[in-house]
Each structure stands twice: as structure tokens, then as C-alpha cells.
Amino acid sequence: MQPLHIAGKTFRSRLFLGTGKFGSPAEMAQAVQASGTELVTVALKRVDRETDTDALLAPLRTASLGLLPNTSGARNAREAVFAAQLAREALETNWVKLEIHPDPKYLLPDALETLKATEALAKLGFVVLPYIHADPVLCKQLEGAGTAAVMPLGSPIGSNKGLRTLDFLEIIIEQSQVPVIIDAGIGAPSDAAKAMEIGADAVLVNTAIAVSQDPAAMARAFALAVDAGRMAYEARLAAAHDHAQASSPLTSFLKD
């Protein structure tokens, strides 16, 4: 399979993981390892608190794992830029997952503030990966603003509803010059496989793994599904047909 490149960094795994909602840091660490991921998001809030920082971050401090701090909790561009700067100092990385969601119920992203923050952060030298609505026009504007990738949502965060925005993700993928990473809503390995089959460059999964009965096994399941979907994309799936296409010969062997 082809590797993925974002801002000069190469990824063999196209599965990114969120680290929230796990039962314990140990359970999280096992899932991260089982997934084979090379990039995990971390919420700055938790990093910020001295007490549990070590327990959370220690297992993530490995050579092969990139950290992607997110700005979750930021309600506008100003707060997000400030959060990104704090994260850069705390975690020594200029990568940032930009999340700006003023609405506490559905956690849906704010298009305007996200575009504004992307412009500001790109100018400040950040590698910006913004979480956004599956809005194809916005995606092109983010490209113009210097984003490193776009992260359109599949469905509301934590809903596990899968790719409800499919029609728009396909347009985004068709038009994008930067990697497209499907974020939010991916509730099962089949959703992750589907995202890769339509040509997404990567997926970010958190809730579906963290809250399953066996997070490490589920992480491994997602890793396989992402590879399956990517392989199928590279080997080109056939189109759906309206009529039956016989796999086996139609005319009776009895007549031959």
C-alpha cells in the first residue's frame, strides 16, 4: 500500500487515534499499540493538569508515535490559537488538530472561526489539521489558507452513525489537493473501510474503540479495516449494478 504524506511526514498506518474516554491510561496505551497508529490526538486540557500528565503521556512518548494536540474546548479562533501555542510549548510539536465548536450539545465545528484560525496558525508555522463540517467549499478555502489536511466529519462526534455525509465526502475527496482525513462518527470497522474505499487518505477514530468491551481488540479490528479499505481503493472496486450479474454460468449444465 502507498504511504501517506502530511507536511513532509510519512505514515504507513492510515488510522489515527483519539485518546479520550478510555477506562484507564493502560487500556489506552494497549489500544494505541494494537492499532499500529503513528499519530494520536491528545486534549490539551489533560496535558495541562500536572497530576495525571505523566500517566497519560508516558505511554505515548515513543519514537514511532506522533502527538497531535487538539484545541477541544476552544469556542473561537482566538482561543484556539492560544491553545495551539500552549500545546506547542507543552508537547514540543507544531502540529495541531484544530477544533472549534461553540455548541456543547452536538460539538459541531464553526466554519468561520476555523478558517480564521487556520490562516493565523499557518502563518505562525503550525501544521494545521482542522476538524470541519463536510462542506466542499470550505475545504477549498482551508487549502487556500495553508491547511496541511482537512478533517471533515462523517456524522456528529461520538454518534457512531458512520458516513452520513457520504455524498459530500466524495466531492471533497474529488476536489482536494491536501489529504482528507475522515473524523467523527466512525462507529465500526465497516465505516472505516468504507471511508478508505471512497478514497479518504486516513480516518481518525476514538469513541468506537475507547468504549468497546475490549479496546485493544477493537483497535486491531479498525487497523485491519483501514488496510482493507485502502487496498480495495488501490485495487479499484467494481461499480454497483442494477441487474444480477451471474457469478456462475446461467445455462443449465444439464443441457450441455
Binding to its own copies, residues 22-51 (CB under 8 A): 41, 43-46, 48-49
Quote the least distance from Cβ 138 to its own copies, whole Å.
6
- Minimum distance from residue 67 beta carbon to its own copies (Å): 14
227 binds its own copies (CB under 8 A): yes
Confirm or deny that 184 is annotated as ligand binding: yes
Which amino acid, residue 24?
S
Q: Using the minimum distance from each CB to its own copies, give the nearer residue, 88 or 220.
A: 220
245 binds its own copies (CB under 8 A): yes
Q: Is 185 annotated as a binding residue?
A: yes
Q: Crossing angle, helix 111-123 and helix 77-91, to 10 degrees? A: 40
Would you count residue 9 as binding its own copies (CB under 8 A)?
A: no
70 binds its own copies (CB under 8 A): yes
CA distance 226 to 248: 31
Q: Is 161 a catalytic residue?
A: no
Residue with Cβ nearer its own copies (105 or 177): 105
Nearest to its own copies of 94, 159 (CB atom): 159
Q: Which of 9, 21, 97, 140 is catalytic?
A: 97
Q: Which of residues 191-220 bind its own copies (CB under 8 A)?
A: 191, 193-194, 197, 206-208, 210-215, 217-218, 220
Q: Which of the residues 108 through 167 are near its own copies (CB under 8 A)?
A: 108-112, 115, 133, 135-138, 140-141, 155-161, 164-167
**Shortest distance, position 180 Cβ to its own copies, whole Å:** 16
Q: Does 105 bind its own copies (CB under 8 A)?
A: yes
Mapping DSSP onto H, E and C, the string for the chain reads CCCEEECCEEECCCEEEECCCCCCHHHHHHHHHHHCCCEEEEEHHHHHCHHHHHHHHHHHCCCCCEEEEECCCCCCHHHHHHHHHHHHHHHCCCEEEECCCCCCCCCCCCHHHHHHHHHHHHHCCCEEEEEECCCHHHHHHHHHCCCCCEEEECCCCCCCCCCCCHHHHHHHHHHCCCCEEEECCCCCHHHHHHHHHCCCCEEEECHHHHCCCCHHHHHHHHHHHHHHHHHHHHHCCCCCCCCCCCCCCCCCHHHC
For its own copies (CB under 8 A), the number of binding residues is 104
Numbered residues of the known binding site for 1-deoxy-D-xylulose 5-phosphate: 158, 184-185, 206-207
Residues assigned a catalytic role: 97
